[in-house]
Amino acid sequence: MFPILQIGPLAIRLPGLLLIVGLWLAMVLVEREAPRRGIKDSLLTNLIFYALAAGVIGARLGHALHHLNAYVQNPLALISLNTDALAPLEGVVAAGLVAWIYARRKASSLWPTLDALTPGFSVFAVFVGFAHLSSGDAFGAPTQLPWA
């Protein structure tokens, strides 16, 4: 667990930095893979941008639905920058739905699009795991088993 990277007076939250680096590497891989699959890389860049925006909005709205009373009392909390107030499952569903709609509108064929996106998804998933590890969010329950 290493949540904050301290470089002199500069303190950087490592989970956020890892997510940004993972997204950047994923975008590089997708932009490299798109021409090999016969897809314009701008189509996939836009698809990822819209899906990412929809994922964040969907995650916040999902959290608001789960904690409706808190948001009724303070509606401005919907636009706060608190990353703890996100519901990941709802964000993934919103991102997937928007990506599917965008790809359908641009008449992008399904399998080549998924083939071009897969290396980026894989790299990003690794960095999500590193971000969870660095923040301490993904540890399990303590155990007394001899092999653990």
**Would you say residue 107 has pLDDT above 80?**
yes
The domain total for the chain is: 1
Instruction: Give the burial class of 103: count Cβ atoms within 10 A of its Cβ; 0-12 exposed, 13-18 middle, 19 or more buried.
Output: buried
Q: Does 14 fall in a domain?
A: yes
Gap between the Cα atoms of 141 and 139, Å rounded: 7
94: containing domain: 4-135
Task: Please provide residue 17's backbone torsions phi and psi, each rounded to the nearest 5 degrees.
Answer: -65, -40
Q: Does 33 fall in a domain?
A: yes
Give the pLDDT band (50/70/90) at residue 131: very high
pLDDT tens-place string over residues 66-96:
999 999 999 898 888 877 788 999 999 999 9
Q: Does 144 fall in a domain?
A: no
> Comparing 49 with 81, which gets the higher pLDDT?
49
Phi-psi region of 40 (alpha: psi -120 to 50; beta: other; left: phi over 0): beta
Give the pLDDT band (50/70/90) at residue 60: very high
Q: Does 50 fall in a domain?
A: yes
Q: Does 146 fall in a domain?
A: no
